[in-house]
Amino acid sequence: MKLYYAPDTCSLSPHIVLRELGLPFTLVRVNNQTKRTADGGDFLAINPKGYVAALQRDDGQVLTEGPAIVQYLADLKPEAGLAPPNGSWERSRLQEWLNFISTEIHGGFGPLFNRALPQAAREWWQARLEKRLDYLAGALDAQPYLAGSRFGVADAYLYTVLRWAAFFDISLTRWPALAGYMSRVGERASVQAALAAEGLTSGT
């Protein structure tokens, strides 16, 4: 398998999951400006949507969209317990978290990356995001991981997007449950290895 990635982006999430599962894979770096891959290829030929992450199987099939990729990977090795069985109530709960992270947290940070965003709009988006962080902190106050006591694919995704708080004027120390969560997840061997492979630090 190949994982097309760019450092400091959402592709860190499937990267962490691949390492958690101990599956064999090759990392292919994408230049998100030029849409060229590090080996000189045309990334748009891999993912016409033009964004990471993209997972290419050995048979050439490509899967995109982070929440779909991490579930596909977890199902390759169900015994690792990174996702509950398909069809179970717990799996729907996982999908509820993945969708929340995708639309409210990942999507909530999105506009802040736009340097041309007017200040008033920036403040509006940031306040909206902070409300979502209030909610998350409440959930993580009661339990170490999103599903309870066990790390899962939603944690890989949430860790990935919460790292971005450090890029903006959002200090996670305001939410001790989130700061503690970032330390806890950031200490995992899979996370440390993924960050090192991407040339990153925890950033929190």
Ligand X SMILES: N[C@@H](CCC(=O)N[C@@H](CS)C(=O)NCC(=O)O)C(=O)O
Binding site for ligand X (CB under 6 A): 6, 9-10, 32, 50-53, 65-66, 102
For ligand X, the closer CB: 43 or 181: 43
In the complex, the smallest distance separating the C-beta of residue 198 from ligand X, rounded to whole angstroms, is: 13
Residue closer to ligand X, measured from CB, 19 or 106: 106
By C-beta, is 63 or 197 nearer to ligand X?
63
CB 119, min distance to ligand X, A: 23
CB closer to ligand X out of 52 and 178:
52
**Long-range pairs, 168-175, Cβ under 8 A, ≥24:** 168/109, 168/112, 168/126, 169/126, 170/126, 170/129, 170/130, 170/133, 172/133, 172/204, 175/133, 175/134, 175/136, 175/137
Least distance to ligand X, CB of residue 71, Å: 12
Supply the minimum distance, in Å, between the C-beta of residue 9 and ligand X.
4
* Coil, helix or strand at residue 41: coil
Please report which residue ranges of the chain form alpha helices under DSSP H.
12-21, 43-46, 66-76, 89-100, 107-109, 119-142, 153-162, 176-186, 189-197
Neighbours of 42 (CB within 10 A): 10
- Extract the tokens encoding 63: 């899967």
> What is the smallest separation between the CB atom of 6 and ligand X, expressed in angstroms?
6
Nearer to ligand X, 109 or 177 (CB): 109
Residue whose beta carbon is closest to ligand X: 51
